[in-house]
Amino acid sequence: MSISETSNPRGSGVDRLRDALPKIVLSPTVAIVAIFVYGFILFTLYLSFTDSRILPTFGWVGWQNYENLFRIRAWDTAVSNLVIFGVLYIVICCALGLLLAILLDQRIRAEGFIRTVYLYPMALSFIVTGVAWKWFLDPGIGIEAVVRGWGWTTFEFNWIKDSDMAIYTIVIAAVWQTSGFVMAMFLAGLRGIDSEMMKAAQIDGASTFALYRRIVIPQLRPAFMSAFVVLAHMAIKSYDLVIALTGGGPGRATELPATFMYSYTFTRNQMGIGAASAVIMLMTIAAIIVPYLWSELREKK
Amino acid sequence: MAAAPAKSSVNWARIILYVLLVFFCIYYLLPLYVMVVNSLKPLSEITAGGMMALPQEWTIAPWLSAWSSAQVGVEATGLRPYFLNSILMVVPAVALSTLVGALNGYVLTKWAFRGSTIVFGLLLFGCFIPFQMVLIPMARMLGLMGLAGSVPGLIFVHFVYGIGFSTLYFRNYYAAFPTELVRAAQIDGAGFFRIFWRILLPSSGPIAVVCIIWQFTNIWNDFLFGASFSDFDSQPMTVALNNLVQSSTGVKEYNVHFAGAIMAALPTLLVYIVAGRYFVRGLMAGSVKG
Amino acid sequence: MRKIVMMTAAAALMAASTSVKAEDVEVLHWWTSGGEAAALNVLKDDLEGQGIGWQDMPVAGGGGSEAMTVLRARVTSGNPPTAVQMLGFDILDWANEGALADLNIQAGLEGWDEVVPEALQQFAKHDGKWVSAPVNVHSTNWVWANKAVLDELGIAVPTNWDEFVAALEKVKASGKTAIAHGGQAWQDATVFDAVAMSTGGPEFYKKAFIDLDEDTLSSDTMKETFDRMAVIRSYVDDNFSGRDWNLATAMVINGDAAFQMMGDWAKGEFLNAGKVPDTDFLCFRFPGTQDQVTFNADQFAMFAQGPEVGKEQAALATAILSPSFQSAFNVVKGSVPARTDVSDEAFDACGKKGMADLKKAADSGNLYGSMAHGHANPAAVKNAMYDVITAHFNGEYDSATAVDELVTAVQINK
């Protein structure tokens, strides 16, 4: 549906330039992305087949880094943690965000204030909130100690100290950070829904629940798409969060691919293995994101 | 849209509604409470335990210390000098990536060409690249471009990895913008930039707010790039805050840490509070619609 | 867009031309907390007295790992700092990359070879060339104890493993926490270091962690070491995981716990809380390691700025190794000087003990690099060992499995 093709007859050089103008405007971005995203991906791919340790070096070692990578237990932990974390994080954020948006959309007093309260965690980095969260979750000084102080002496909340449960505390903190943002997206979606349609359904006697399930939620599909892209991007990049909260522990129970990659590339001087893990990570992301983007973008045309 | 409230006098549904809302307010505010409370205590109260309790002795000394006298490097400068560094970096980076994002969105929707959807898809996928991965090649490129260890270098890096999202926001927003208006203007003889400048840009306020909030938050809070690509005189706020908080073998002054942490977050908090109302409006107008 | 790029490029050129003046030094380090930075300020003033500017580039976090990441970016972009705070094997790795300067002229003038202990020189020299200037020696096999708690329970300073366990048992019976410990990999490894040294002695320690000898790594002594770690674990409270070391120290300071195994930097926390060595708290070597010192040393690795060592870089290196700076810095930092000929006058009781121990250990060949702090083997091996030690300490492996895993870890990463 390009306008230029239909309305401008081919002719003089000026016209041709005018036709090409949109592409010229877009071209710096394309060039930048080609170099700084896709070029770097290729570079990392190449590194993953080299013997790089402390800095990039170019001795070819074939698949050795990948073989080593899959021998490292922490990598398995990191991958399965990402699955647990990613799924829970995205699902809970969407559910909570939707719930909060619906609650806030009931002609509430002080809506502006409450909305800001829900939204503000997004403004803070985890360098800032990490310590607070760490204390808060620590059984000795945090919520467990406080509840016990109130007299409920058998209360237990020591997930952060428990290798099997620690990853869920990461989910709690991550949900805290972004669910407000998702709420804002859904709230915007709700506000955009045609109120005539709602009134008609109400007159037909539909219950509030049915109203939301049948009419409102299906219309929020674009909001879900935006939320998914934002959340998936956050889940994959979660790094600060883990470092601030558990440092990957107890043991290495809360290692995620991002922390794994960082530690092998930069602290363990195994840049080759780090690059291999980055490649696997990117391939996984591509396997999930590309089909999704494909279907969403194609439909719109 | 909003469901019409029912008409009974004691409305249990609304009471439950408010209870829920307040409950979630507490959930979101608790970490902030911990930070604020502990930033107003003397250190001895914190190490003696009771980190959740209100201060017995209120003090603002930690705040003063974090601002102007805490040790973040060899000299006890507090966070003050780093504030300016961050601002010098954030403002141009946000402006650039927003402007270019708007232009891109305009091209991708109103001047779509064969393959433009694929270009957009590739741009969007670029958002998912892990930053730890690009660190070394980026350092090399900055070195080649003569931008290593400088503010323009930092701005460039943030701009590069910010355009994906800003293009996404503007593209979705402009997609809903009536194409007829653009076509009419074109028949009147308006050119590419004139249409953008006169017709699209003036109505882009809401989505610009969304984009600016998003970019501002991400760039202000970034640590990795800020630490790696800055020089001794261009380190941003987050690096200073990190230096304040993450001492390795020294005494940890938690109260000063918390005061500094809140201080470092104030600009973003301010942006959220001031622009918050436009935020939902902006999202509504654009990015969450098809 | 084009215009903007050109403008930024022009601005960058201007920035580049004004950034590092020839007579200034740029120093990348992670000493940002009060005492540390104040100590470093002594050096800064010293240089400024000679007309050399100090450009400060602090990046804290992860015991220097953030700074090492930044360093990679700086070197890759062709803009290395003059000097970088660095530990053990990292220095040798960078020297292997050919990135470090040759300080032999200064070393010859100042006679560094005679005053710096041999064990330390291994990390400051590469191929017979001085590449780095050591600032201090931290020793890591200390135990810190609350004197009031010990007195109350009638516990004397333990001198061997059995006495130590008896003491721990007494504390535990009294209801207090016997060992204050923070469950972070490097802290687990710090304790492991001391336990291994005490269990197997210096020969064993050297063979296992420095020579990475497989027979020693898989020996029964190693299994015994892990068994003893399990014993230690049983005297640690349940909330240890993830705790910062200084919160553990606070437990000892407050009398909630009796002992903590930690390097000499813990002293700063005691002093800061107004406690006096030998009166309020005790410092002694881990039982069974009275003659040995495991150390880590902070150094400033000198990055090559050109074909020759510049005047300001030479001045920086010389200033770091001057006796006056070594004394002034280490009094504040809690560590001991890297030169063994510095007067101990200005140091407190624990500092004097530390200096005497270091000299004795250096002379008798009992000074060993700490595995936990990157002075026994390279980063890849160290971290692989951390993984095993931490997994065992958290109950994921029994001692036999831990020994097997340790051998595998070394094989993969050697």
Maximum Cα–Cα distance for chain A, whole Å? 86
Which of C394, C393, C384 minimizes the C-alpha distance to A73?
C384
Together in a domain, A289 and A150: yes
Together in a domain, A244 and A102: yes
Query: Count of A–C CB contacts within 8 Å?
Result: 85
Q: Residues A298, A301, B1, B3: is their CA dihedral positive or negative?
A: negative
pLDDT band at B286 (very low <50, low <70, confident <90, very high): low
> What's the pLDDT tens digit per position in B103-122?
999 999 888 888 888 888 88
Q: Is B75 within the bounds of a domain?
A: no
Q: Is A63 within the bounds of a domain?
A: no
Residue indicated by tokens 């040294």: C197
Query: Count of B–C CB contacts within 8 Å?
Result: 168
Together in a domain, B197 and B101: yes
Q: Dihedral angle at the C-alpha atoms of A259, A261, A263, A264, nearest 10 degrees?
A: 160
Angle of helix A221-237 relative to helix B163-175, nearest 10 degrees, comes to 180
- Enumerate the residues of chain A whose CB falls inside 8 A of the CB of residue B212: none
Q: Which domains does chain C have, with CATH numbers?
A: 20-138+297-363 (3.40.190.10), 139-294+370-413 (3.40.190.10)
Q: Are A219 and A189 in contact (CB under 8 A)?
A: yes
Closest-CA distance of chain C to residue A101, Å: 36
Q: Which domain holds residue A91?
A: 68-300
Distance CA C93, CA C381 (A): 13
In chain C, positions 101-140, which contact chain B (CB-CB < 8 Å)? 138
Q: Are B257 and B51 in contact (CB under 8 A)?
A: no
Element (H, E) at C166: helix C161-173
pLDDT band at C88 (very low <50, low <70, confident <90, very high): confident
Report the residue count for chain A. 301
Distance CA B267, CA B211 (A): 16
Cβ burial, residue C242 (10 Å; 0-12/13-18/19+): buried
Cβ burial, residue A179 (10 Å; 0-12/13-18/19+): buried
**pLDDT for the residue numbered A185:** 85
Compare CB distances from C41 to B74, B96, B100 and report the shortest one's residue: B74
Which of B191, B167, B193, B188 minimizes the C-alpha distance to B109?
B167
Together in a domain, B175 and B31: no
Compare CB distances from A222 to B183, B191, B289 and report the shortest one's residue: B289
Compare CB distances from B136 to A56, A233, A240 and report the shortest one's residue: A56
Together in a domain, B30 and B131: no
* Helical spans, DSSP H, in chain A: 3-7, 13-33, 40-47, 64-71, 73-104, 111-119, 126-137, 143-149, 166-191, 195-203, 208-211, 217-219, 221-237, 240-245, 257-262, 271-300
Q: Is B265 within the bounds of a domain?
A: yes
CATH number at residue A141: 1.10.3720.10
Q: Is A172 within the bounds of a domain?
A: yes
> C125-126 and C132-134: which strand pairing?
unpaired
Together in a domain, B35 and B151: no
Q: Are A51 and A272 in contact (CB under 8 A)?
A: yes
Compare CB distances from B251 to C34, C57, C73 and report the shortest one's residue: C34
Q: A18 touching B, CB under 8 A?
A: yes
User: CB within 8 A of C310, min separation 6: which ones?
Assistant: C22, C82
Closest-CA distance of chain B to residue C53, Å: 12
Token digits for A16? 């041709």
Together in a domain, A81 and A165: yes
CATH number at residue B112: 1.10.3720.10
Q: Which amino acid is at B101?
A: G
**pLDDT for the residue numbered C64:** 78
Token digits for C370? 């700490």
Residue of C nearest to A127 (CA): C61
What separation in angstroms does the CA of C334 have from each of B66, B193, B277?
24, 65, 53
- Enumerate the residues of chain A whose CB falls inside 8 A of the CB of residue B280: 115, 184, 187-188, 191
Residue of C nearest to A54 (CA): C93
Q: Is B66 within the bounds of a domain?
A: no
Q: Is B180 within the bounds of a domain?
A: yes
* Helical spans, DSSP H, in C289-394: 311-320, 323-333, 349-363, 379-393
B284 against C393, higher pLDDT: C393
Q: Is B70 within the bounds of a domain?
A: no
Together in a domain, A96 and A42: no
Distance CA C331, CA C181 (A): 26
- Enumerate the residues of chain A whose CB falls inside 8 A of the CB of residue B279: 119, 184
Angle of helix A166-191 relative to helix B254-285, nearest 10 degrees, comes to 30
Together in a domain, B109 and B23: no
Q: Is B6 within the bounds of a domain?
A: no
Together in a domain, A105 and A235: yes
- C-beta atoms of B117 and A301 within 8 A: yes
From first to last of the 301 residues of chain A, give the pLDDT tens digit. Answer: 444 444 444 457 777 777 788 888 899 999 999 999 999 999 999 999 998 888 888 888 889 889 888 888 788 889 899 999 999 999 999 999 999 998 888 888 888 888 888 888 888 877 777 778 887 887 777 778 778 878 888 887 878 877 788 889 999 999 998 898 899 888 888 887 777 777 777 777 777 777 777 778 887 877 887 788 888 888 888 888 888 787 777 767 888 988 898 888 888 888 899 999 999 988 888 888 888 778 777 755 4
Together in a domain, B220 and B89: yes
Q: Is A202 within the bounds of a domain?
A: yes
Q: C65 touching B, CB under 8 A?
A: no
In chain A, positions 65-94, which contact chain B (CB-CB < 8 Å)? none
Element (H, E) at C299: strand C298-302
Distance CA B264, CA B241 (A): 7
Element (H, E) at C177: strand C177-179
pLDDT band at B246 (very low <50, low <70, confident <90, very high): confident
Angle of helix B205-221 relative to helix B163-175, nearest 10 degrees, comes to 160
- C-beta atoms of C55 and B73 within 8 A: no
**pLDDT for the residue numbered B285:** 63
- Enumerate the residues of chain B whose CB falls inside 8 A of the CB of residue A21: 192
DSSP letters along A68-116, please? HHHH-HHHHHHHHHHHHHHHHHHHHHHHHHHHHHHHHTTT-TTHHHHHH
Q: Are A89 and A231 in contact (CB under 8 A)?
A: yes
Together in a domain, B156 and B261: yes
Together in a domain, B23 and B152: no
- C-beta atoms of B246 and C66 within 8 A: yes
Q: Is B67 within the bounds of a domain?
A: no
pTM of the model: 0.83
Closest-CA distance of chain A to residue C381, Å: 8
Q: Looking at the 3D structure of chain B, how many domains does it have?
A: 2
Sheet containing C136-139: give its strands across: C336-337, C136-139, C293-296, C367-369
What are the residues facing C336 on neighbouring strands? C137
- C-beta atoms of B75 and C268 within 8 A: no
A197: region left, alpha or beta (phi > 0 left; psi from -120 to 50 alpha):
alpha
Q: C153 touching B, CB under 8 A?
A: no
Closest-CA distance of chain A to residue B66, Å: 14
Which of C414, C385, C208, C376 minimizes the C-alpha distance to C297?
C376
- Enumerate the residues of chain B whose CB falls inside 8 A of the CB of residue A222: 172, 288-290
Which of C289, C262, C259, C264 minimizes the C-alpha distance to C196?
C289
Together in a domain, A29 and A142: no
- Enumerate the residues of chain B whose CB falls inside 8 A of the CB of residue A301: 117
Together in a domain, A234 and A265: yes
Together in a domain, A28 and A77: no
- C-beta atoms of A278 and B133 within 8 A: yes
Q: Is A62 within the bounds of a domain?
A: no
Closest-CA distance of chain A to residue B112, Å: 5
DSSP letters along B191-228, please? -HHHHIIIIIGGG-HHHHHHHHHHHHHHHHH--HHHHH
- C-beta atoms of C76 and B139 within 8 A: yes
Together in a domain, A7 and A93: no
- C-beta atoms of A251 and C378 within 8 A: no
Angle at C172 between CA C171 and CA C173, to 5 degrees: 90
- Enumerate the residues of chain A whose CB falls inside 8 A of the CB of residue B186: 3, 7
Token digits for A87? 């799924």
Q: Is A55 within the bounds of a domain?
A: no
Distance CA B65, CA A269 (A): 37
C88 against C220, higher pLDDT: C220
Find the radius of gyration of the CA atoms of chain B.
24
Together in a domain, A97 and A216: yes
Together in a domain, A38 and A100: no
B133, B142, B159, B217, best to mutate vs chain A, most A CBs in 10 Å: B133
- C-beta atoms of C242 and A163 within 8 A: no
What separation in angstroms does the CA of B135 have from each of A262, B162, C29, C217?
10, 15, 20, 37
**pLDDT for the residue numbered B72:** 76
> What's the pLDDT tens digit per position in C172-221?
999 999 999 988 888 999 999 999 999 999 999 999 999 999 999 999 99
What value does the mean pLDDT take over residues C327-353?
88
pLDDT band at B247 (very low <50, low <70, confident <90, very high): low
Q: Are C372 and C140 in contact (CB under 8 A)?
A: yes
Together in a domain, B130 and B266: yes
DSSP letters along B228-278, please? HS--TTT--HHHHHHHHH--SSS---HHHHHHHHHHHHHHHHHHHHHHHHH
Together in a domain, B55 and B169: no
C94, C251, C394, best to mutate vs chain A, most A CBs in 10 Å: C394
Token digits for B279? 């935020």
Q: Which domain holds residue B100?
A: 80-285
Residue of C nearest to A247 (CA): C242
Distance CA C268, CA C335 (A): 10
What separation in angstroms does the CA of C99 have from each of C83, C95, C297, C312?
11, 6, 20, 18
What separation in angstroms does the CA of A219 have from each of A215, B24, B114, B217, B289?
7, 26, 30, 29, 9
Q: In 3-state terms, chain B is what percent helix, strand and coil (to 5)?
A: 70, 0, 30
- Enumerate the residues of chain C whose CB falls inside 8 A of the CB of residue B242: 59-61, 66
Burial C104-126 (b: 16+ CB within 10 A, else e): bebbeebebeebbbebbeebbbb
- C-beta atoms of C76 and A55 within 8 A: yes
A131, A195, A270, best to mutate vs chain B, most B CBs in 10 Å: A131
Together in a domain, B120 and B54: no
Compare CB distances from A74 to C1, C239, C387 and report the shortest one's residue: C387
Token digits for C287? 């039982």
pLDDT of C7 strictly over 50: no
Q: Is A227 within the bounds of a domain?
A: yes
**pLDDT for the residue numbered B248:** 55
SS3 C395: coil
Together in a domain, B86 and B40: no
- C-beta atoms of C72 and A266 within 8 A: yes
DSSP letters along C131-156, please? -EEE-EEEE--EEEEEHHHHHHHTPP
Q: C241 touching A, CB under 8 A?
A: yes
Q: C162 touching B, CB under 8 A?
A: no
What are the residues facing C393 on neighbouring strands? none
SS3 C126: strand
Q: Is A54 within the bounds of a domain?
A: no
Query: Which other chains touch chain B, taking contact as 3+ CB pairs less than 8 Å apart?
Result: A, C
Angle at C107 between CA C104 and CA C110, to 5 degrees: 150
**pLDDT for the residue numbered C1:** 38
- C-beta atoms of C12 and B145 within 8 A: yes
Q: Which amino acid is at C77?
A: S
Distance CA B210, CA C367 (A): 60
Give me the long-range contacts of C14-18 (CB less than 8 A, separation at least 24).
C15/B150, C15/B151, C15/B152, C16/B146, C16/B148, C16/B150
- C-beta atoms of A289 and B289 within 8 A: no
Q: Is A95 within the bounds of a domain?
A: yes
Together in a domain, A72 and A10: no
Q: Looking at the 3D structure of chain A, how many domains does it have?
A: 2
pLDDT of C117 strictly over 60: yes
Task: Indicate whether this complex's ipTM tops 0.85.
Answer: no
pLDDT of C236 strictly over 60: yes
Compare CB distances from A1 to B32, B112, B241 and report the shortest one's residue: B112
Q: Are C334 and C123 in contact (CB under 8 A)?
A: no
**pLDDT for the residue numbered C112:** 93
B69, B249, B253, B255, best to mutate vs chain C, most C CBs in 10 Å: B249
pLDDT band at B249 (very low <50, low <70, confident <90, very high): low
